[in-house]
Structure 1
Amino acid sequence: MSTTQSERLRELLEPLVRSQGLDLEEIALDSVGRKRVLRVVVDSDSGADLDAVADVSRALSAKLDETDAMGQGAYDLEVGTPGAERALTEHRHYVRATERLVKFQLHEDGELVARILAVDEDGLDVEVPGVKGRKATTRRLAFADIAKARVQVEFNRKDKKDMKEEEEA
């Protein structure tokens, strides 16, 4: 998608997404065969449930239909959330990923998998899991040291209640 079209779509759609209590995370326009597909990714601090996504999808569809932002050709509109393994690119993404396991690609020190404990304006405090019987350690990461970060899926993660019950046993 051209930068001007991307910027134009963002300027058109972002106020509408914000009015629904969500953040506009991404816009992508792709060609799939003869069809064009406009993908819009939304999120919020508390997440975006199915009803919120459906509501914003209807609002975006109506707005796009009343303007010429997509031109005269047919297109499909897909509205969704970032998904489980989302990339962290904004400060708010790190805040939302607090207590999640994240794979960091660092500018100098290679890769690091750690759980985000706290986030402030300069960086984050993380807990690096212990390996082979060792205890977990904490570490400070400055945002400037992070090249990429992506949330990891945890299938067998215990929630706080389960961990507290184990400690008490």
Structure 2
Amino acid sequence: MITLVLLGFKLERLMSGWRFGVAYVTSGIFGNVFGANFAPPTTPSLGCGAAVLGLMGCFFIDLALRWRIAKQPFKHLIKLIVFTTLGFCILGILPGVDSFSNTGGLFAGFLIGISMVPARQESRSRKGVLLLWAIRVISLAILVVSFISLLNNFYGDKSLDEFCTYCRYISCLPISGFCDQSK
């Protein structure tokens, strides 16, 4: 919750309120659908972890876009890497926490950040503006196609755990039989 409040307050000031809401909800839904596809069948896929990591993905894109004008960009990059690593390594190995959802949320956050984070351009050349919009449209298209593919796979006949038997160890630390509960 602390991470959500700290990140959310800063990101909402960078983006508008509606863009922040779209980024939060979309990365949360995408992450949980991603987790539902790759996690073992008995692992719950819910919570705000995917949405919070989606916000971190937006922050990575914001930092990349504002690298030249940011004060101490390496310091901000290190903080983002530390928080992201903590989100995956500390929380991701606990039983009942779906690391796949977090991964999907971070992926969606990157794509949403590319699509929605306002870019401050030093030069307003027509070519630069067109390139930026082309990248944004491609990013949004990748997000939509990925989401449709994940939903199609989730409701389809094939199960991803048939060819990914080790996937349960990605989302669980194999101590005291925690990972064996999801067989």
Length-normalised TM-score, structure 1? 0.29
Specify which structure has the higher proportion of helix: 2
Give the structure with the higher percent strand.
1
Which fold has the larger relative contact order, with Cα–Cα distance below 8 Å and residues 6 or more apart in sequence?
2
Normalising to structure 2: TM-score of the pair?
A: 0.28
